[in-house]
Chain A
Amino acid sequence: MSTARTRTVLFLAPGLGWLALFMLVPVGIVIADSFFQRGIYGGGVYTFTLENFARAFDPLYAGVLLTSAKIAGLATLAAVLIGYPAAYAIARGPKHRQPLLLFLVMLPFWSNYLIRTYAWIVLLNREGLLNQGLRMLGYDGEPINMLYTDATVVVGLVYNYLPFVILAIYASLSRLSGDLWEVSSDLGASPFDTFRRVILPLSLPGIAAGAVFVFVLSIGNFVTPDLLGGGRVQMVGNLIYDQFLSARDWPFGSALSFLLIGIMMVLLFAQALVVSRSQGEHHG
């Protein structure tokens, strides 16, 4: 073995070992568990069954999966629509100001996720700041309850994941040479055409990365629907959480996790495809 090969193996070993031990093994256990029957008090009874998967496709639970996909999809769409212009503005702005703007985008991460989400309850509840503000402006009807709906959950998810989208799109926009705009306009394209036919396609990998990120994090999320959905908006993450921590039906929870992992893998694969294709076009 050459020294270069030895070095590669040596450098990869800790990372691969970590992943194997703390990701592959737990995922393997989850997959195995999903084929067992549940014990009365939790754990599994080691009898093979496909019942957990059959149950997951029951309209009731399939409906939860669809709701989750809908909420995650809306959150992704909103995050991209809000995040793209922000990323564009930062990337096209003066170079010396970019570090500060990026720093501001990351600032919310200085506080805890739970606290950031709980703050929305303080803002939106029936006696919350927003209702108090409305009353000060002269509104005197019943207080408006803005919490515990699908829309509130979407707002919470967008709020928390927007920085990821901005960073991902910024990363791909900032790699584009400023000459592209000049060349395009010299060749007679309007600024809108330049954006639509040159910049947007080239920033597609950034959009894909950001979007997949938001979608994958959103569809498995259980904290935001729990707090901002008041337990009334049930996403698949809550369903899985409940199976392990309250219903004590680990095999069913495992089957649901397995399906979720499947969905995520398909999406990540699709994203990889977008990236490699656009790179192919770039170089080819």
Chain B
Amino acid sequence: MAQFTRALAGTALVTVALGGPAAAQSLVISNWDGYMPEDLLDRFTEATGIAAELSVHATNEEIMGRLVAGGGAGFDVVFVSSPFAEALHALGLTAELNHDLIPNAANLYPEAQNLEYDPGNTFSMPYAWGTTGLCYRADLVETAPTSWTDLLDPPADLAGEVTMLSTDRWLMAAGLLALGYSVNDTDPAHIDEARDLLISATDTLLAFDDTTFYSRLVSGEASLVHAWDGWCNYGTAEDPNILFVVPQEGSDLWVDTMVIMASSENQEAAHAFIDFVLDAANHRWVAENILYKVPNEAAMAGLDPALVEAFPNLGMTPGELLEMEQLRDLGEAQRDYTRAVTEVMAAQ
């Protein structure tokens, strides 16, 4: 039987490869590069007989651009952060989720089933969650950083050894939080204030970096970087001197979600994929592989304690995460954010 389904999956793949009529139940999934175990799609195909291929995007903005330009055409399941899922929903590009087809959704923490951006997970399923903070080389900094100000106006010994995220929500969050404002603040005066603070911060910056900051820490090129918790773990894995801290002013709770495109012709298969990911064993494999927290109680319960010891931020509880401020879509004010970020980047 297994051989039969594999043969069937093989046929589906070949059909797609030949560019013939789209085989029924063959999925296109877009995710960040390296944000799921390499064998996950093969395992999915093996378990369900549904062929799936991976398309990668580097940032939320990039996939958002593709989806908006094409009305979502060509994609079945897309991984995006919650504010972007919210925006896709507002644009009518996401499908309504049918929970009867996703029984494994019951594995999620109760907190993860009732997040502000999508109570009841009607159009998005949480895949991974965490916060943003400071990732640093304990052996290269004189005093351990504790505040967003340590990033924006670092002590003299760290000047020129600091990197920051440049994607709009997280860059702005660093400025807003340092000033005591909300990560979702839409007051234009506050946005301008944060922008000016960020412009002054570029003086001590080594570079803006959204993708290779942890390797800069490992090589010693940078000592302190603005980072997502899970990505800091990639540095820790190579050098135990690399630590993560949430600044005292607090931070954001981001949730990376899976959404199904309304335009997808494979709705059932897309639901099957989400259900497959949320399976306790599969989702645990995801957490162990990408070193990010997953909002799946059953999966986290089975996580190897040695892993949590090596990467302490994997041990943050849902309660601790929910103390952070949930990132929301900004609607019209998104224009002001992107303009402010463009001005920060253009200022020299």
Interface residues of A (CB under 8 A from B): 38-43, 60-61, 63-64, 67, 125-127, 145, 147-148, 230-234, 238-239, 242-249
Measured between C-beta atoms, what is the minimum distance from A41 to chain B in Å?
A: 5
Q: In the assembly, what is the distance between CA of A13 and CA of B237, in Å?
A: 59
Out of B209, B221, B339, B345, which one reaches A234, CB within 8 Å?
B345
**Chain A residues positioned under 8 Å from B219 (CB to CB):** 125, 127
Would you call B220 and A127 a contact (CB within 8 A)?
A: yes
In chain B, what residue has the closest Cβ to A67?
Answer: B348
Q: A125-B221, A230-B208, A232-B205 given as contacts; is B345 within 8 A of A41 (CB)?
A: no
Contact B166 A231 (CB under 8 A): yes
- Chain B residues whose C-beta falls within 8 Å of the C-beta of A231 in the assembled complex: 166, 207-209, 345
Q: Which residues of B contact A230 (CB under 8 A)?
A: 206-209
Measured CB to CB, the closest approach of chain A to B261, in angstroms, equals 15
CB contact list, B53-72 vs A, under 8 A: 59, 61-62, 64-65, 68-69
- Pairs across A and B, CB under 8 Å, 14 listed: A38-B335, A60-B343, A64-B348, A148-B206, A231-B208, A232-B348, A234-B345, A234-B348, A245-B62, A246-B61, A246-B341, A249-B335, A249-B339, A249-B342
A248 lies within 8 A of B348 (CB) = no
A249 proximity list for chain B (CB < 8 A): 335, 338-339, 342
Q: Is B18 an interface residue (CB 8 A)?
A: no
* Chain B, residue nearest A122 (CB): B219
- The listed residue with most B CB atoms (<10 A of its CB), out of A61, A234, A238, A247, is A247
Do A40 and B332 form a contact, CB below 8 Å, given A230-B209, A246-B167? yes
Q: Which residues of B contact A40 (CB under 8 A)?
A: 87, 331-332, 334-335
Contact in complex: A245, B59 (CB < 8 Å): yes
Contacts of B346 in A (CB 8 A): 60-61, 63-64, 234, 239
- Chain B residues with CB below 8 A from A145, complex form: 160, 206
How many residues of chain B get a CB closer than 8 Å to chain A's CBs?
36
Considering the complex, which residues of chain B in the window 231-284 have a beta carbon less than 8 Å from any beta carbon of chain A? Answer: none
The answer to whether B207 touches A42 (Cβ under 8 A) is: no
**B342:A243 contact, CB within 8 angstroms:** yes
Residues of A within 8 A of B124 (CB): none
CA distance A120 to B208 in the complex (A): 18
A67–B347 Cα distance when bound, in Å, is: 11
Give, as a whole number of angstroms, the nearest-CB distance from A118 to chain B.
10
Cβ-defined contact, A248 with B208, below 8 A: no
Closest residue to B62 on the A side, CB-wise? A245
How far apart are A231's CB and chain B's nearest CB, in angstroms?
3
**B68/A42 in contact, CB under 8 A:** yes
Docked complex Cα distance between A60 and B344 (Å): 10
Task: Tell me which residues across on chain B come within 8 A of A245, comparing CB atoms.
Answer: 59, 61-62, 65
Tell me the minimal C-beta distance from B5 to chain A in angstroms: 39
Chain B residues, CB < 8 A from A60: 343, 346-347
Q: How far does the Cβ of B211 sit from chain A's closest Cβ, in whole Å?
A: 11
Q: Which residues on the A side are within 8 Å of B160 (C-beta)?
A: 145
Tell me the nearest residue of chain A to B333, going by C-beta.
A40
Q: Would B221 and A247 count as touching, CB distance under 8 A?
A: no
B91 within 8 A of A: yes
**Interfacial chain A residues near B202, Cβ < 8 Å:** 232
Q: Which of A40, A60, A234 has the most CB of B within 10 A?
A: A40
B64 A248 Cβ-Cβ under 8 A: yes
Distance in angstroms between the alpha carbons of A243 and B342 in the assembled complex: 8
Task: Please tell me if the beta carbons of A41 and B68 are within 8 angstroms of each other in the complex.
Answer: yes
> Inside 8 A of B153's CB, which chain A residues have their CB?
none
Mask: chain B, 4-26; 1 = CB below 8 Å from A; 0 = not: 00000000000000000000000
Assembly CA distance A66 to B190 (angstroms): 30
Contact between A247 and B206 (Cβ–Cβ < 8 Å)? no
Which residues from B are CB-within-8-Å of A238?
345
Interface check B96, CB cutoff 8 A: no
Contact B206 A244 (CB under 8 A): no
Give the residue name and chain of the A residue nearest to B160 (CB). Answer: A145
Q: Report which of B69, B331, B339 forms a contact with A43, defined as CB distance below 8 A.
A: B69
B69 & A246 in contact (Cβ 8 Å cutoff): no
Smallest CB-CB separation from A61: which chain B residue? B346
8 cross-chain pairs, A with B, having the tightest CB-CB distances, nearest first? A230-B207, A231-B208, A247-B338, A246-B61, A42-B68, A126-B221, A127-B219, A64-B346
Measured CA separation A171–B162 after assembly (Å): 47
Query: A153 to B208, alpha carbons, bound, how many Å?
Result: 16
Within the assembled complex, what's the spacing in Å between the Cα atoms of A29 and B236? 47
A246 to B334, CA, bound (A): 12
Note all chain A residues with C-beta closer than 8 A to B168: 246-247
- Interface positions, chain B 315-348, Cβ under 8 Å from A, are 331-332, 334-335, 338-339, 341-343, 345-348
Check B207 against A248 for contact (C-beta < 8 Å).
Answer: no
From residue B329, how far is it (CB to closest CB) to chain A in Å? 9
Q: Which residues of B contact A127 (CB under 8 A)?
A: 219-221
Chain B 197-210 per-residue mask, 1 if CB under 8 angstroms from chain A, else 0? 00000100111110
- A244: B residues at CB distance < 8 A: 65
C-alpha gap A244/B209 in the complex (Å): 18
> For residue A239, which residue of chain B has the nearest CB?
B346
- B347 cross-chain contacts in A, Cβ below 8 A: 60
In the bound assembly, the distance between CA atoms of A232 and B339 in angstroms comes to: 17
**Minimal beta-carbon separation of B76 from chain A (angstroms):** 20
In the bound complex, how far is the Cα of B339 from the Cα of A243, in angstroms? Answer: 9
B348 close to A42 (CB less than 8 A): no
Query: Could you tell me the distance between the alpha carbons of A234 and B202 in the complex, rounded to whole angstroms?
Result: 12
Cα distance, A233 to B207, chains bound together (Å) = 9
Q: Is the CB of A247 within 8 A of B339?
A: yes
Residues of A within 8 A of B338 (CB): 246-249
Flag if B342 contacts A247 (CB, 8 Å): yes
Given A234-B345, A243-B342, A246-B62; 7 other pairs, CB 8 A cutoff: A40-B335, A64-B346, A145-B206, A230-B208, A230-B209, A231-B209, A232-B348
